[in-house]
Structure 1
């Protein structure tokens, strides 16, 4: 068997192992941690047309600017009709492609297949990388990483044959695709310079001109995204609330944190909270971080010239992290996040494997003892990685499981309790949800959004008066959101304070006209409490236009039409409601509408019999005209009414 064929079999085995470890994700759900913003609650990705695709490229401030990532969501939504399995399998596919690209990159850097295979294996199975693959909202990290790694491979191919300008254009194209996947790709030009340095390329005029398009595109895109992020002047970054010395400590800590987790991937979590300040001091490990960082820099300075791979690995490690170390503050609920280390893990694993190989070479890699030790160590590391990755994959099964894992690691993360409470409401675990909501409010009593969560839980527990207290505190604050007004209106409705409920439903509609439940709630009060079916119909119309997947607007509009004496229109609506919710077929409203339509049919039959028997007067024609109008037959209604005016049916 040739060496190349062996390598292919090894790669196939690596990909198969990685796929098997990650395969449980096929049964994982969406989470309520940004997935509702990017996918499940984002109507923009529920359709896929040229117009909707182009719309993703327009500037906005709803979330990070990553139009290509959003288009992948739209494609998957269409393929799987919103099934999370399709999203997870596509993320796994991207990860497998990245494993292959990591192999190609390390092979190019080290020129040794063994090193490249080992790094690719460890990268594919590293527990820290699970968040990037398992969290659907981290698609941007997977996608930009793919283009980052592909760009380096294409650049290496171009440098091997510099006259192949098609490859140069391809590198620029991949670079742009990466920028459209995640703005962090702006660091890519520096990675190209790093590749030139590693290959000992002479930095001449051609090398400078070659990088110029990348630098210009990078600067332009960076300015564009900064303008978008700065357009919301109300946003205050969490780290900016700390004084400068604490900020410096946290930046140092973040730089060391990723290295530590990549070397020793234990106690992993989806969230790492900002540290508390007690008596003007951060926790002790934040003060140790600058010392560790300075020691690493000192080692690099001392031995970097002799061991260039250390400088290369260090640069590749820090480069993708520069924009997320909070040197330039940005708003994030976590100080650090495992997904940010996805590309950096390649650098750390490269350093680890090359260092081990050099040590083996120094102490005699040809000796059976050292060879056996190396193989045993790699096997043990792989087993540990597989176990750790399997545990993390299981933690990402759904919102409740992932936030439970966060709380188990750190019971002071208030947002984990709040998010778990939200999902516990969805599965009707209301008492447990209330415990979580109470704990969240206890940990962060000034954050009104947590009162909104607790108010919703109390609503489902039918403790309306207590819910109103929480929702009052929210709606009277400057941080209130449109849904908060809707939730308060719903509570007021059940407290039979209908006038106040109408006011808050109206406020919710004004603040977010596209939220269908507000229109539905307003219409319900008009129909059921004000007995004004005619006024209620336009609100049910709006709710249906905004969301045609819910049965309630059709159902209550049917009730309105029945009340208005329009059984045919009522029948159309109740039929649509039954199509969405078949249980309504046995509903009393359905039976009543059916009886009304049947009565009209009997009436039409009776009047037609009178015509057949030779009766000819205006009353029969007028009756037929009215009956046909009620069943929606405008043509015959108009015909018989004209006959009525003329005085008969002749």
Structure 2
């Protein structure tokens, strides 16, 4: 009896401790939770009324029989089979849970995406404040992360759940690992979040190299010790890379013109695209579901882009002793984008969702630069060097600048959101922005066909054949669809005439 009492007492003692720590953490971050969550909810409230789109949503949800039942056969398939080029069992499991809750009501799936994005915004605040030691940088980075229009694709597209969830666990893992004073418990939790992230999307593989760079540059650890510490995380990452790589060739769709490039040519194109990404983060415009960046005839752009990134790399390396966080930021920017640079073939060269996590580095550096600029002005303006003014002027200027920039990006986000209302709005907009891509015309034709406008759909496919130079796979898809739809149209006409 006494043993049972002691056991119950110990459980009672340990249980409240866990919940107390959780309540303490939530209370400590109540302000960012309320502010960032409110911003995300305010901006993305229209998506509750949005539909599924004809871009991966049918594969992940609408036609996915595995999420329609909890039968062991379906659970095994979710745990072992890639879907739409991705091995993401935890992501698919969330769709199983949601399908159980609300079936094929798209609003429920959209609400989940918005909630996960809000959680990620809070995690961005925690991570930036922890790494930089500056609350202002944490706030600026988190607000811009929450409201920037480049995030619309990741949040408003249900199938981008894998990006959102992988980001959640990536951020949680980095919060555990990127500490100047780190415990064994931190590393254990960091490993757990890493594995969960890999189960959502393989892009989480960036965590071990980012942690290695942080340990060497910021914590000043010996390289050998830092590498040994990442052996187990790297093992899990390698497993998931191998499981995902083969799936990239099993799905027809996307853009594949870059598949035949040698790696040097591809890296040169990537250098150009990286500068395009910087431009998208500074002044986002003409955002679309797919892009058609040029890959030939741009030797001058490639040379300038490579030279520009070479200069950035040299400046960052030169500052590694005085400003290790600057060098770390440069390395983290490249590492976060590395899975999307097509060193392992992907069916797109460039997407908005590829910036979902890398933008954190950009916004953090921009916020740090703005803060340094404000302090530089105060130091050189004697009238502002009084105690109160020296504190208030940079803070006030920072708040006003963040409000202006964040408000501008928020307005652009509200304008971009309706693009993702349904398949018709998505692909009609894509035809305006990227009319040169055959896949865009094919998807627009699919929308027309679903609405019974077969003649228009066939005309769109013929236009794609004549003007978009589709590759052989897309050419075959177009021919097959033309044959099927023309047969259906002829059958309908014959039925009408027989009446």
CA contact 1:418–1:453 (8 Å) conserved in 2: no
The 1:207/1:284 distance shift into structure 2, 3 A limit, reads closer
Residue 168 of structure 2 aligns with which residue?
A: 146
The 1:294/1:69 distance shift into structure 2, 3 A limit, reads same
Name the CA distance, whole Å, in 1 between partners of 2:86 and 2:62: 17
Residue 384 of structure 2 aligns with which residue?
A: none
List per-residue Cα deviations over 1:465-486 (Å, max 9, x = no partner).
xxxxxxxxxxxxxxxxxxxxxx
Name the CA distance, whole Å, in 2 between partners of 1:248 and 1:222: 20
Query: Given the alignment, which residue of 159, 162, 166 partners 2:183?
Result: 162
1:106 offset after TM fit, Å?
A: 0.5
List per-residue Cα deviations over 1:113-168 (Å, max 9, x = no partner).
222111111100111111111112211111111110011123357x74625x3x43
List per-residue Cα deviations over 1:383-422 (Å, max 9, x = no partner).
1110111122111101111122222222212211211121
SS of residue matched to 1:45:
helix
Name the CA distance, whole Å, in 1 between partners of 2:264 and 2:277: 21
CA contact 1:65–1:225 (8 Å) conserved in 2: yes
Query: Given the alignment, which residue of 346, 367, 380 partners 1:353?
Result: 367
SS of residue matched to 2:465:
helix
**Structure 2 length as normaliser, TM-score?**
0.82
CA contact 2:320–2:326 (8 Å) conserved in 1: yes
Confirm whether residue 65 of structure 1 aligns to residue 87 of structure 2. Answer: yes
CA contact 1:189–1:214 (8 Å) conserved in 2: yes
The 1:121/1:76 distance shift into structure 2, 3 A limit, reads same
Name the CA distance, whole Å, in 1 between partners of 2:290 and 2:77: 32
Name the CA distance, whole Å, in 1 between partners of 2:329 and 2:397: 25
RMSD, aligned α-carbons: 3.2
The 1:459/1:386 distance shift into structure 2, 3 A limit, reads farther
Residue 39 of structure 2 aligns with which residue?
A: 17
CA contact 2:173–2:190 (8 Å) conserved in 1: yes
Name the CA distance, whole Å, in 2 between partners of 1:416 and 1:232: 16
Residue 307 of structure 2 aligns with which residue?
A: 291
Query: Given the alignment, which residue of 424, 431, 440 partners 1:407?
Result: 431
The 1:60/1:106 distance shift into structure 2, 3 A limit, reads closer
SS of residue matched to 2:443:
helix
Structure 2: tracts of 5 or more residues without a match: 1-25, 380-388
Residue 363 of structure 1 aligns with which residue?
A: 377
Residue 323 of structure 1 aligns with which residue?
A: 339
Residue 103 of structure 1 aligns with which residue?
A: 125
Residue 54 of structure 2 aligns with which residue?
A: 32
Query: Given the alignment, which residue of 227, 234, 237 partners 1:215?
Result: 234
List per-residue Cα deviations over 1:329-357 (Å, max 9, x = no partner).
4141x321111111101111010000110
The 1:30/1:68 distance shift into structure 2, 3 A limit, reads same
Over alpha carbons, which structure has the higher Rg?
1
SS of residue matched to 2:259:
helix
Residue 566 of structure 1 aligns with which residue?
A: none
Name the CA distance, whole Å, in 2 between partners of 1:369 and 1:152: 33
Residue 624 of structure 1 aligns with which residue?
A: none
List per-residue Cα deviations over 1:147-200 (Å, max 9, x = no partner).
10011123357x74625x3x4332222111111111122221112223324542
CA contact 1:254–1:325 (8 Å) conserved in 2: no
Structure 1: tracts of 5 or more residues without a match: 465-489, 496-650
The 1:232/1:363 distance shift into structure 2, 3 A limit, reads closer
Name the CA distance, whole Å, in 2 between partners of 1:416 and 1:174: 36
List per-residue Cα deviations over 1:440-489 (Å, max 9, x = no partner).
222236512122333444345x245xxxxxxxxxxxxxxxxxxxxxxxxx
Confirm whether residue 388 of structure 1 aligns to residue 412 of structure 2. Answer: yes
Equivalent residue runs for 1:66-465 within 5 Å: 66-156=88-178, 160=181, 162=183, 165=185, 167-197=186-216, 199-203=218-222, 207-226=226-245, 229=248, 238-242=257-261, 246-275=265-294, 277=296, 281-282=297-298, 285-326=301-342, 328-332=343-347, 334-364=348-378, 366=389, 373-442=397-466, 443-444=468-469, 447-459=475-487, 462-463=489-490
How many residues align structurally?
Answer: 457
**Structure 1 length as normaliser, TM-score?**
0.64
1:38 offset after TM fit, Å?
A: 1.7
SS of residue matched to 2:286:
coil
Name the CA distance, whole Å, in 1 between partners of 2:236 and 2:358: 23
1:20 offset after TM fit, Å?
A: 1.1
1:240 offset after TM fit, Å?
A: 3.2
Larger RCO (CA under 8 A, 6+ residues apart):
2
List per-residue Cα deviations over 1:519-546 (Å, max 9, x = no partner).
xxxxxxxxxxxxxxxxxxxxxxxxxxxx
SS of residue matched to 1:265:
coil
SS of residue matched to 1:364:
helix
1:59 offset after TM fit, Å?
A: 4.6
The 1:289/1:454 distance shift into structure 2, 3 A limit, reads farther
CA contact 1:98–1:146 (8 Å) conserved in 2: yes
1:257 offset after TM fit, Å?
A: 2.6
CA contact 1:276–1:283 (8 Å) conserved in 2: no
The 1:43/1:59 distance shift into structure 2, 3 A limit, reads closer
Name the CA distance, whole Å, in 2 between partners of 1:440 and 1:200: 55
Name the CA distance, whole Å, in 1 between partners of 2:441 and 2:299: 23
The 1:451/1:14 distance shift into structure 2, 3 A limit, reads same
The 1:310/1:209 distance shift into structure 2, 3 A limit, reads closer
1:84 offset after TM fit, Å?
A: 1.0
1:60 offset after TM fit, Å?
A: 4.9
